[in-house]
Structure 1
Amino acid sequence: MPDSTPSLYERDFYAWANEQAALLRAGKLAAADIAHIAEEIESMGKTEKRELISRLAVLLAHLLKWQYQPERQSRSWEATIRTQRLEVRDHLADNPSLKAQLADAVAAAYERAVISAAETNLPENTFPNACPWAFDLVMSEGFWPDAEAH
């Protein structure tokens, strides 16, 4: 009869992670849960890409709001734009291989940004179908889209 007791991985992820780290540090690879370790490492990579998309989505949503609702521009929107630029920059510095994923990340982020920007009571079809700005422009400290651009 198979053991139906949940493994440490299933019962207590934190304890499992610490146990696996200790086994790896001690060079006890045969005792390590290699399959789950590999799964978790892959998951960490996906998490980094999702984080980039999330930060870009917030940045792009606020740039859209800035452009399409200039009468509602605020210091809060400005702070969010500036902060997200720094967060994206730092995230890419920590994960330089994500730069190869920028086109896909911007496209995915822009979809989310349009949904978020529509909270301003503008219909989603107000916004372009694809991101109207190049990544380098979006990241430029001096870039603040103006209402005349649409």
Structure 2
Amino acid sequence: MTENSAYDTDFYGWTIAQAALLRDRNGAAIDWERLADEIESMGRQERKELVNRLRILLGHLLKWRYQPDRQSRSWMTTIRVQRLEIRKLLTKNPSLQPVISEAFAEAYELGRLLAIDEMGLEDYEENLVPSASPFDWEFVINSDQFDAPDLS
């Protein structure tokens, strides 16, 4: 099986073989184009993780604010853990800083949908949760509080 077909039929095997070729410094046999694509894909995964963690965090912050009668220790733990994991992710990947604003907006939209769904709101009640984030970045990431004053 050639390295090119291994990429399509046994991706894991292809990655192991490419890593071995890199370690052996065997540049002629490396599948450069696909290797570059995979490295870029790894970077996209870091951004995807940021958006996903923000989505979970923002969804829980919204539930905390708009469903105070259901606040729980579990929600507190989720908020704390996601804040910590996001800070660690940003520390390990400082080049994510320029995409924070875009990632935050994307995550808020997804987190809002998560909160609406988990709160059991009907379509006509969705406007109870604002379409623009009531939280700023500093509060979301660095606060040890669970609710913040409205930005409006």
Same fold (TM over 0.5): yes
Deviation at 1:26, TM superposition (A): 1.0
**CA RMSD, 1 decimal:** 1.7
Q: Distance in 1 between matches of 2:90 and 2:127?
A: 31
Q: Distance in 1 between matches of 2:90 and 2:71?
A: 28
Which deviates the most, 117-126 or 74-83? 117-126
Deviation at 1:14, TM superposition (A): 1.1
Provide runs of 4+ in structure 1 moved above 3 Å: none
The size of the alignment, in residue pairs, is 144
Q: Distance in 2 between matches of 1:18 and 1:131?
A: 43
Contact 1:82 1:141 in 2 (8 A): no
Task: Give the aligned residue type for 2:136.
Answer: A
Deviation at 1:124, TM superposition (A): 2.5
Matched, 1:7 2:5: yes
Query: 5+ residue gaps in structure 2?
Result: none
Query: 5+ residue gaps in structure 1?
Result: 1-5
Q: Distance in 2 between matches of 1:136 and 1:76?
A: 23
Corresponding residue to 2:90 among 85, 89, 92:
92
Matched, 1:44 2:42: yes
User: Under a length normalisation based on structure 1, what TM-score does the superposition of the two structures give?
Assistant: 0.90
Q: Distance in 2 between matches of 1:106 and 1:83?
A: 17
Percent identity, aligned pairs only?
A: 48
User: Under a length normalisation based on structure 2, what TM-score does the superposition of the two structures give?
Assistant: 0.89
Contact 1:66 1:144 in 2 (8 A): yes
Which deviates the most, 89-98 or 126-135? 126-135
